[in-house]
Amino acid sequence: MFIYLCKKIAIPGNVRLRCISWNKDQGFIACGGEDGLLKVLKLETQTDEAKIKGLAAPSNLSVNQTLEGHSGSVQVVTWNEQYQKLTTSDQNGLIIVWMLYKGAWYEEMINNRNKSVVRSMSWNADGKKICIVYEDGAVIVGSVDGNRIWGKDLKGTHLCHVAWSSDSKVLLFGMSNGEIHIYDNQGNFIVKMKLSCLVNVTGAFSIAGIHWYHGTEGYIEPDCPCLAVCYDNGRCQIMRDENDHNPVLIDTGMNVVCIQWNHCGSVLAVAGSLKTTSQDKDVNIVQFYTPFGEHLRTLKVPGKQISALSWEGSGLKIALAVDSYIYFANIRPDYKWGYCSNTVVYAYTRPDRPEYCVVFWDTKNNEKYVKYVKSLISITTYGDFCVLATKADENQPQYVLVLCNSIGTPLDPKYIDIGPLFVTMTKTHVIAASKEAFYVWQYRVAKKLTAMEFNQVARTRKEGRERIYHVDDTPSGSAGGHLDYSRAIEFQGTRDPICAITASDKMLLVGRESGTLQHYSLPSVGMVQKFTLNCHAYQLSLNCNSSRVAVIDLSGVLTFFDLDTRVVTSTGEQMVGEQLKLERKDVWDMKWAKDNPDLFAMMEKTRMYVFRNLDPEEPIQTSGYICNFEDLEIKSVLLDEILKNPEHPNKDYIINFEIRSLRDSRALIEKVGIEESSQFIEDNPHPRLWRLLAEAALQKLDLQTAEQAFVRCRDYQGIKFVKRLGNLQSESMKQAEVAAYFSRFEEAERMYLDMDRRDLAIGLRIKLGDWFRVLQLLKTGSGDSDDALLEQAHNAIGDYFADRQKWLNAVQYYVQGRNQERLAECYYMLEDYQGLENLANSLPENNKLLPDIAYMFVRVGMCEQAVSAFLKCNRPKDAVDTCVHLNQWDKAVELAKNHNMKEIGSLLARYASHLLEKNKIFDAIELYRKANYFFEAAKLMFKIADEESKKRTKPLRVKKLYVLSALLIEQCHEQIQNAQKGKVKGKSSEAASALAGLLEEDVLSSTNRFADNAWRGAEAYHFFILAQRQLYKGSVQAALKTALHLRDYEDIIPAVEIYSLLALCACANRAFDICSKAFVKLESLETLRPEQRQQYEDLALEIFTRHSPKSNKKSDLDDMLDSSIDGKLPVCVATGDPILEQRFWMCSVCKHCMKPKEASSRSFCPLCHSTI
């Protein structure tokens, strides 16, 4: 930052001032002094001219009111910005609250304790409470409307300062003995503050000031110190909060009177006096520090004794009360900003976010891109790129350099281990320096490369892109230079730290605090030379050909050093480099011209000077920061104004200044004429001036002069344009072309139309891309307009709306332009699938757009429409793939058959295996069933049934699974028979198809055990369940008959289950012979464990010792059972009995039988559950 005194106001009657306070919101300045003096002043800077000029605008007093009411010396003045109130107090303890009414201040409330004097008053952050402390220890907290909230008498203490925390929960009381006590907002003592800054301090001291920044404009860093406490002996500590045991400590070395934070908590001003050795009297000074204790600037102030200071709301001015005067100083902050490729990049803090908000504002298109960056250190720009230097992590000393383009897109981040206090960049390099080392990064950005260039880049893309050097090293430039931080940092600092750096394509200059300037070559980074400057450089800047360097020192003095000049010293030695005689004071910014090594612009206080060959032109009043100096024009940005409302930058705050030679040339051309002007430009040649002359000559159709001027400024397009003009015969045609060249398109179009050359007017608008006007011109023309051009115009307007995603508008124009391709896209974006379908139907067969439309339907799952589109463009395979993709397998099979495609089987198999891998067996079965692949479905279903059977789950569930499997096999048989019937034609078709069907079924049955007798599993579990139901019902004879059938199904139901049930039924029926056989079978089973076998043996012994293993009832039933077991008689699936009758009912689905009596009482087949 840079600071300088700019204005002085004398208080009438030479009354000494004691206090001053600047209202941050409304801009009023209140100052109190001896003999009851209290004045309210205001500087007026709200005119349009003032906004454009910023600080350079004249600042006259718009308000100057003396407030009557105090008799003693006014010692405290404090503002309540939220409620527009001023609170003042004098040496007699009288407190007055003033209010604003119709532009003037009037007394609102008065309070006088008459016991003691008020030492300090403070409003809290929201302006609702005020805390008043008296010297005798009395504390009063009152509300904004004048009511007392609480009061307390701190006995035995002498108070002198008070401060609120930002959340209004804590009060700090400063004692006259230097202690600071922390209280809660109800007046309860919490703890004494730890004062680290007073360690080893002897002698008397008192508190000079306590100021707690409330974070109203955000913080410059997360967890930033914001509570400043300073003592009159110069010791100061800055804390993160009231309990911070590791504060930032500063010894200002001066006698401090007053301290105050600026509006955003980034700068602390400390005012006081300093004893000088040469002079007897003290010197008034104001020191400026960062929240981390770094010293920024020192401002010397005239007068005997400074008594108070106060910042303006924007932080651009500071008011100082000295004796009977108010001094104003302007501040030029070190904004974090840069300018690249028509883009102003600037950073600011917000109260709602801990990061910096970095804005990339494109001044050409007035668009802005916002990026949030944590712990931003600096912004550096060059060409089209920008480097953001940030802290990587709060806990680790690592930093990041992020290379961005002009819209804030990060291109390449680099992590470095040195703090980038100084950063500069060139077309190819980024250089970052700490106090003792510097890091060089040769950056590359993506661009199109030819194969040869690519190989070359690949070869050179090895080590050496990043290098680091210690400032005390002397690199030769020949070594590769590794990224060795240990080597650079092992010196642990240097006696002569780096204070500034700058670089060009050819060289790097590093300035050191002693005045040494080290010159390194680039890109090799070899030490070339050391120069000696007569100052401590703060800012260095090289001109465009690297022959001179501009140096701004800490006190704002600008000097120049010529790097090429060779001088002979008095001893006869030849030296390179010479200090030039030019010196300017109070300089805070400068910029060399990009195209002329002798031209530069500089900012001195509120004036901009342009120098040519070290000779100044007349100054321009402005306070802008210089962005760019090129083509005899200076672009300047009023950052002060932009940062008052950073979210909405205004193009009015970008100002272009023309330098004198450009202004003079323009005036000469206007007043004297082209011939005389060309002689002046010949004497002061510059491409911009020649272009100015060429343009002026073109306006007057002086083609010869225009061509010569274009040649001098090497404008090939201009030369071609002049040649083309020369070939035109009509004078008016030439004038129209010139108007178009100078972007006066309306005028050019009017001239073309006046000449009845509507075609040229349309051509001009087409070149400009103004298709709306083209359409207008085509429609207004007489006669038939060009249909092709009309279509082109409609399509271009459609493109305009489509680019802006206004699809509905685009559709209207694409319909008129018959642009079916873009129309399809618009329908798709609008989700108007009916419109898309209609478009597909209207297209002829094999149209190239049909596949695209089909894929649009596929993407939204509309199978039928997609298939229709694919078939229309003769792509049946894609149609089948679509059906498969959308799980429309029946449709896929149908299509595959209709188009004789053989891949359907493999497709099904692939999809089924995919489902099986995911253990979705039922989905695979459903897939095969839908696709009429019943045999594969049945195979999977039998597999599931077998697995369930082994798991011993509910028998009814297993039966259902076997029934389903068998039904699928029946469907398979039916399918085979139908297929054979269709194949064989003629008289013998039935017999032949039946035979073919039987042959095919034989093939199936030979490959799978279940295909031959699909119902075996269902029968087994049917009889198993039936036997148990009959047994539980008490029909023991029927249960035994049914259980005897189960002996045929040992391959399906475990034998132990079958014979256990048979033994149980036989025992219940007292058929002990059958029971005995069942036990013999059970005891012989190999699957039983020895203990199980033993149990069966014990049970058999128990039964058969009581009952002989012979049947007590012998009947004809045994013979019938034997015959049914041999398979001679059909079995009733309802009762398990053999059917002896000649007539019986047979199921049409499963072909199983039932007695007529049972069939008449049932609606469904007991086995397959099909309707009777």
Grouping H, G, I as helix, E, B as strand and the rest as coil, residue 1142 is coil
Using the predicted structure, report yes or no on whether residue 203 has a pLDDT greater than 50.
Answer: yes
Using the predicted structure, report yes or no on whether residue 560 has a pLDDT greater than 50.
Answer: yes
As a whole number, mean pLDDT of residues 959-983 equals: 77
How many helices (H) and strands (E) the chain has is answered by 34, 58
- Give the pLDDT of residue 719: 87
- Cβ burial 256-292 (10 Å sphere, 16+ → b, else e): bbbbbbbbbbbbbbbbbbbeeeeeeebebbbbbbbbe
Q: pLDDT tens-digit profile of 587-604?
A: 999 999 998 899 999 999
Cα(155)–Cα(1020) distance, integer angstroms? 104
Other beta carbons within 10 angstroms of residue 239's beta carbon come to: 21
Amino acid at 580: L
Contact 1080, 1055 (CB under 8 A): no
Q: Which residues pair with 1153 in a beta bridge?
A: 1132, 1146
Query: Cα–Cα–Cα angle for 799, 805, 808, nearest 5°?
Result: 80
Average pLDDT, the chain: 84
Enter the DSSP assignment of 1131.
Answer: B
Which whole-number Å values give the CA distances from 910 to 565, 893, 913, 927, 942, in the listed order?
Answer: 83, 14, 5, 11, 20
Using the predicted structure, report yes or no on whether residue 778 has a pLDDT greater than 70.
Answer: yes
- Give the pLDDT of residue 999: 47
Band of residue 1048 on the pLDDT scale cut at 50, 70, 90: confident
Cα(924)–Cα(935) distance, integer angstroms? 12
Peptide bond into 497 cis (omega under 30): no
DSSP strand pairing (60-66 vs 38-44): antiparallel
- What are the φ/ψ torsions at residue 547 (nearest 5 degrees)? -95, -25
Cα(431)–Cα(525) distance, integer angstroms? 11
Contact 180, 157 (CB under 8 A): no
Torsion of CA 102, 105, 107, 108, to 10 degrees: 60
- Give the pLDDT of residue 462: 44
Of 232, 231, 236, 258, the closest CA to residue 248 belongs to 236
Which whole-number Å values give the CA distances from 545 to 75, 158, 405, 428, 562, in the listed order?
Answer: 59, 67, 26, 16, 12
Contact 3, 329 (CB under 8 A): yes
Using the predicted structure, report yes or no on whether residue 1034 has a pLDDT greater than 50.
Answer: yes
- What are the φ/ψ torsions at residue 543 (nearest 5 degrees)? -80, 180
> Residue 502, class by beta-carbon neighbours within 10 Å (0-12 exposed, 13-18 middle, 19+ buried)?
buried
- Give the pLDDT of residue 32: 94
Angle between helical axes of 850-859 and 876-885 (0-180°, round to 10): 10
The secondary structure element, H or E, covering residue 927 is helix 921-930
Angle between helical axes of 1016-1033 and 1055-1068 (0-180°, round to 10): 30
Q: What percent of the chain has pLDDT over 70?
A: 88
**What contacts 704, CB < 8 A, 6 or more positions away?**
none
Q: pLDDT tens-digit profile of 221-250?
A: 888 999 999 999 999 999 999 999 899 999
Contact 890, 931 (CB under 8 A): yes
Of the listed ranges 157-161, 388-392, 925-929, the least confidently predicted one is: 925-929
Q: pLDDT tens-digit profile of 701-751?
A: 888 888 888 888 888 988 888 888 888 888 888 888 888 888 888 888 888
DSSP strand pairing (282-289 vs 268-275): antiparallel
- For the record, the structure tokens of 337 come out as 């900003």
Cα(442)–Cα(431) distance, integer angstroms? 9
- Give the pLDDT of residue 749: 85
Of 376, 336, 386, the closest CA to residue 625 belongs to 336
Contact 833, 827 (CB under 8 A): yes
The secondary structure element, H or E, covering residue 772 is helix 771-780
Of the listed ranges 496-510, 530-544, 850-864, 1040-1054, the least confidently predicted one is: 1040-1054
As a whole number, mean pLDDT of residues 519-530 equals: 90
Of 607, 610, 606, the closest CA to residue 634 belongs to 610
Cα(140)–Cα(151) distance, integer angstroms? 4
Q: pLDDT tens-digit profile of 31-51?
A: 999 999 999 999 876 555 555
- Give the pLDDT of residue 58: 63
pTM across the whole model: 0.68
Q: pLDDT tens-digit profile of 414-444?
A: 999 899 999 999 999 999 999 999 999 998 8
Torsion of CA 533, 538, 542, 543, to 10 degrees: -100
Using the predicted structure, report yes or no on whether residue 989 has a pLDDT greater than 60.
Answer: no
Grouping H, G, I as helix, E, B as strand and the rest as coil, residue 437 is strand
Amino acid at 588: W
As a whole number, mean pLDDT of residues 1019-1047 equals: 84
Band of residue 983 on the pLDDT scale cut at 50, 70, 90: low
Q: pLDDT tens-digit profile of 97-124?
A: 999 998 899 999 998 877 889 999 999 9
Using the predicted structure, report yes or no on whether residue 316 has a pLDDT greater than 50.
Answer: yes
Cα(387)–Cα(440) distance, integer angstroms? 13
Band of residue 1127 on the pLDDT scale cut at 50, 70, 90: low
Contact 185, 166 (CB under 8 A): no
**What contacts 298, CB < 8 A, 6 or more positions away?**
285, 286, 287, 288
- Give the pLDDT of residue 1128: 62
- For the record, the structure tokens of 608 come out as 């901009």
- Give the pLDDT of residue 227: 94
Strands (E) across 144-188 are located at 148-153, 159-164, 170-175, 180-184
Contact 54, 622 (CB under 8 A): yes
- Give the pLDDT of residue 458: 43
Contact 754, 745 (CB under 8 A): no
Q: pLDDT tens-digit profile of 1100-1110?
A: 887 877 777 77
Q: pLDDT tens-digit profile of 653-669?
A: 999 998 888 888 888 88
Of 610, 547, 595, 594, the closest CA to residue 714 belongs to 595
- For the record, the structure tokens of 1110 come out as 């012979």
Quickly list DSSP for 70-115: --S-EEEEEEETTTTEEEEEETT-EEEEEEEETTEEEEEEEEE-SS
Q: What percent of the chain has pLDDT over 90?
A: 35
- Give the pLDDT of residue 130: 94
Cα(525)–Cα(474) distance, integer angstroms? 10
Residue found by looking up tokens 């045609």 in the block: 733
- Give the pLDDT of residue 557: 93
Contact 286, 279 (CB under 8 A): no
Q: pLDDT tens-digit profile of 281-314?
A: 789 999 999 999 999 999 999 999 999 999 998 8
Band of residue 461 on the pLDDT scale cut at 50, 70, 90: very low
- Give the pLDDT of residue 1033: 85
The secondary structure element, H or E, covering residue 935 is helix 934-950
Cα(889)–Cα(536) distance, integer angstroms? 84
Using the predicted structure, report yes or no on whether residue 637 has a pLDDT greater than 90.
Answer: yes
